[in-house]
Structure 1
Amino acid sequence: MDFSMSRRQFLTRSGQVAMAAGVGGSLLAACGGGSGSNSSSGPVNLTFGWWSNTPAKDNSMKAWIKDFEKANPNIKVKPEILPWGNYWDKLKTTTAGGNAYDIIGMSSGMAAPYFDSGALADLTTFSDYTDATKSLSPATLTLSQWSGKTFALPIGTSISVLGYNKALLDAAGVAAPDPVKAMTFDEFKTMAKKLTKIQNGKGVQYAINPTDILDYDMFIRMNGGKTFDNPVNPTKVTTNNPEGIQGLTDYLSLFTEKLAPPYNELTNGPGPSTSVLWIRVKSPLRVSDPGSSPIWPKIPTMVLRRSLPSSSQ
């Protein structure tokens, strides 16, 4: 099957990224008709692939599809929501075999090989493209573009959340952070030092457990820089500048000042346990994707921004 010639094949991505019934609905309708045209009056059947992300979110996705079908009665969407690993295994084999889903949910970190495969339709060829993308952030839409073509429509971007364990803060006599007012990085480190416990040269409690190896990228962006020239199709590292150096310095200070555990003690587990103590390494604070665990909505969070000159504060 020649994907590039099939008008029903196109990618939508969520950043993590999926089909958007409101934003991408017109594009989905166009897939069943002529190139760049509206869908035909006859029935259109589409398959949609996505990965499971908690029962509540899976049900929301299914409800979203039902709303789309209600607004477009001649289009039927058959969803298949699989566990994370199973989804990517199937997507890889079906794309190679020419029988992938009509609509593909895509994580930005996985996108490059699919964008470069020739298996996806360029959405700019559809007549509804301009109208469907006029309300989208140009910067976010860039994540869906490759070699001058647009292969996806973003429906959201994920952010890292800094959550804290109130019981451990109370035990250390540290006041709960303001959930709205941003804390500078220097203020954060002052608080973090009160939460770190070192006994006989060994950490028994660290202030923060940054389990994601990409946290350094977050610190670079907090300082106004970026790690690569292009997040989806990088050609060079762009950290050799004041913003990048400051971000890396801030990140490194978490370890050199013993506010975070050494990497050999870190874990890449799915998130906090039901006791709200971090896996393997006991720490009052943790940076994570809020979608990584169903209990994250119950965890208090704080806001952190980079240190700014006093005249700007």
Structure 2
Amino acid sequence: MPTDHVRATCALVLAGALSIACEERDPAPFAPERDGAIERPDGGPLVITRRDAGQRDAGIDAGAFDGGDLGDAGVGLPVVDGVIGEREYELGIDDVTSSTPPTGLPDQLTRLLVVRTATRLWIGIEGNVGPGRGMMLLLDAAYGGEDGVTLTAGSLADNVGTLDRALSSAVLFSAEDSFRPEYAWGALAEVPFTIDGSEDDVGWREITTADDFADLPSGNRTVCSEDACETSIPIGGTGILRAGTIAIAVRTIDANGLLSSQTLPLDEPGAPESISNVLRVFPPE
């Protein structure tokens, strides 16, 4: 892989923690076992973002098969098809995992993967949920800034639409003020499915207006199978605007906003409503 297109960066992802830069291509400062339940000497999982290959937008389905197609810049990008291929997210973050067993509800989240270029974001969430339940994601497009929603009970209040109502009903709050999401994604439809844009129970929402979420209707795709959900959205244009350092937190919910013990990145399973650990994804340089 050409070194002039790729650079690795490490960072602690505990919200509010000090980030740590790594030398290019340095190995992780801990053993490759990345189970989020294991205490790590550096206090958090590895975050790796890489330079956009040619600063190009490869579109949603960017490869002939999962991670196996190399485009004109010699870089493979994810395919949004609900199947996470072995090489598919190799240009993105290292595995962010959780081994929290299902408790009370049958949901289980196991892995979160992200690839970011200058013009698009790809997200893969590995795991499964019980009948009538789905996945949700909160995204802060300018982590550490003042834009976005301060999460408190009742801070989200759009009760029109299946997904909007579920997001608003979930009791969520940030353990510190740096995480202020402007966007949310969710999937409450019965799997398997493929949806382009947004529908009543699937898609991306802008949540800066607390009582009337705006759908992001074009340029994005969500595909969920029994084992994973994948989604992709533009950065700029019809997608996520004003993107600086992106921070992500994932949970599982039902139509009434009931949370399970499952969190990605690994957070406190006994208090999934409290978001104290987020995945940070830095802008390409």
Q: Same fold (TM over 0.5)?
A: no
TM-score w.r.t. length of structure 1: 0.24
TM-score (ref. length: structure 2): 0.26
More strand by share: 2
Larger helix percent: 1
Q: Highest CA radius of gyration, 1 or 2?
A: 1
